[in-house]
A = this chain, B = another copy of it.
Amino acid sequence: MLEKIDRALGGREPDGDGLASSGVIADVAGIANRRSPWEAVQLARNIQRPHSQELIGLVFDRFQELHGDRGFGDDPAVIAGLADLGGRSVVVVAQQKGSSTEENIARSFGMPHPEGYRKAIRLFRLAEKFGLPVITFIDTPGAHPGPEAEERGQAEAIARSIQVMGELEAPVVAVVIGEGGSGGALALGVGDVVLMMQNAVYSVISPEGCAAILWRSASEAERAAKALRGAGPDLLELGVIDGLVPEPEGGAHTDRQAVAAGLRRALVAQLDRLASVPLSDLLAARYDRYREIGSFADPSAAAAEKAKPWWRRALGKAGL
C-alpha cells in the first residue's frame, strides 16, 4: 500500500517503503510463532503492557504536553503534545490507558470523550500550520459510551477527526500500540502509514460486543475474536495496515526498552521517507490508501465492459 508514495518518490527501490530495513514486519511469513487472535487480545489488554505515556518517554527525545480542546475541557484519556524525534519536531497524539486501577479511573480506561478528539484535532491543525509530521498512538477499548459523551457529540468528534486526518497537509504515521477499538481508535488512525505492534489488535467491535450480538452470548468472545480477524498479522494480510513492529516472545511488557527502540526505529524510517514526498502526492496517496480497502464485485460492470465494442474498451472507463 506504500507503493504509491514510493512511486511518487521516483520509482520503487527494493524496500523503498523503509519497513524491512527498519525492522518492521512487512510480510506475515516473517512471523515465527503467530499468536491466536484471542491471545493477541489478552496481550493487547495486559495492564502491564507499556502504554502511550511510557512509550512517549522512551521513544522521543523531549516531550511537552499541550492541554485542552479550547472549547470544553482537557481529556486525560488523550495525551497530545510536541516532541523531538531524531532532530525533527513532531506532533504526538495518543490514547492513554491506565497502568493501575487509579490511573485507569482518572483516564477513563483510555476511552476518550469528545473533547479528547477535539484536542487531537487542534493538535493536528497545529502540525499542519508548522509543517510538522504527526504521530499517533492508538490504545483504547473505544470511545467513551457514556451519556455525556453522547450529549457533547461523540460521533461528530470522531467523524471530524477522521476528516481532518484525511485531509491534513502534513505526514501522518499512526501506530496501534495495544487495543484499537472501533471508531474511537480510528479517529486517531488515519494516516499515510499505519503500523501495529505485533500483538496489538484493531477491530470494528470488541470480541465481547460482537459475541453478544451475533452469538447472543459474551462467552463466545474467543470465537468472535477469531472471526473478526483483528490481530496484527490478519490485518497485514488483509491490507488494512502496512507493517508490524516486533514484540519479544512474551509480549511488549517483557522488554519495554527493546519494544520502544523498535518503534522509534520504525517511526524515524517512515518520517525520513515521508518528508520528501510532495504534499499533493502525499494527500492523493492517502486518499487512495483508504479508497482501495475493501472487496466487492461488480458483475454487471464486467459484463457491460465485455459487451462494449473493442474501441470503447480500448478507450477505457474514462470514456464512458
- Chain A residues engaging chain B, CB cutoff 8 angstroms: 70-72, 114, 118, 152-153, 156
Contact = CB atoms under 8 A, between A and B. Distances in A.
Contacts of A70: 153, 156
Contacts of A153: 70-72
Given A70-B156, A71-B118, 8 more contacts: A70-B153, A71-B71, A71-B72, A71-B152, A71-B156, A72-B72, A72-B152, A72-B153
A156 B73 CA distance: 13
A164 to B, nearest CB: 13
A114 to B, nearest CB: 7
Copies assembled? 2
6 contacts: A70-B153, A71-B72, A71-B153, A71-B156, A72-B152, A72-B153
Q: 5 smallest A-B Cβ distances: which pairs? A: A70-B156, A71-B71, A71-B153, A72-B152, A72-B72
A47 B97 CA distance: 54
A153 B114 CA distance: 16
Interface of A is mostly: loop
A146 to B, nearest CB: 16
Looking at A70, A71, A118, A153, the one whose CB has the most chain B CB atoms below 10 A away is A71
Nearest to A153: B71
Contacts of A71: 71-72, 114, 118, 152-153, 156
A165 B153 CA distance: 25
Nearest to A70: B156
A31 to B, nearest CB: 43
Contacts of A72: 71-72, 152-153
A158 to B, nearest CB: 13
A39 to B, nearest CB: 40
A76 B123 CA distance: 31
Contacts of A118: 71
A209 to B, nearest CB: 27
Contacts of A156: 70-71
A248 B316 CA distance: 70
A153 B70 CA distance: 7
Nearest to A69: B71
Contacts of A114: 71
Nearest to A159: B70
A114 B70 CA distance: 11
A69 to B, nearest CB: 9
A72 B71 CA distance: 9
A156 B69 CA distance: 11
A187 to B, nearest CB: 15
A71 B152 CA distance: 6
Nearest to A152: B72
A215 B118 CA distance: 45
A143 to B, nearest CB: 15
A312 B156 CA distance: 59
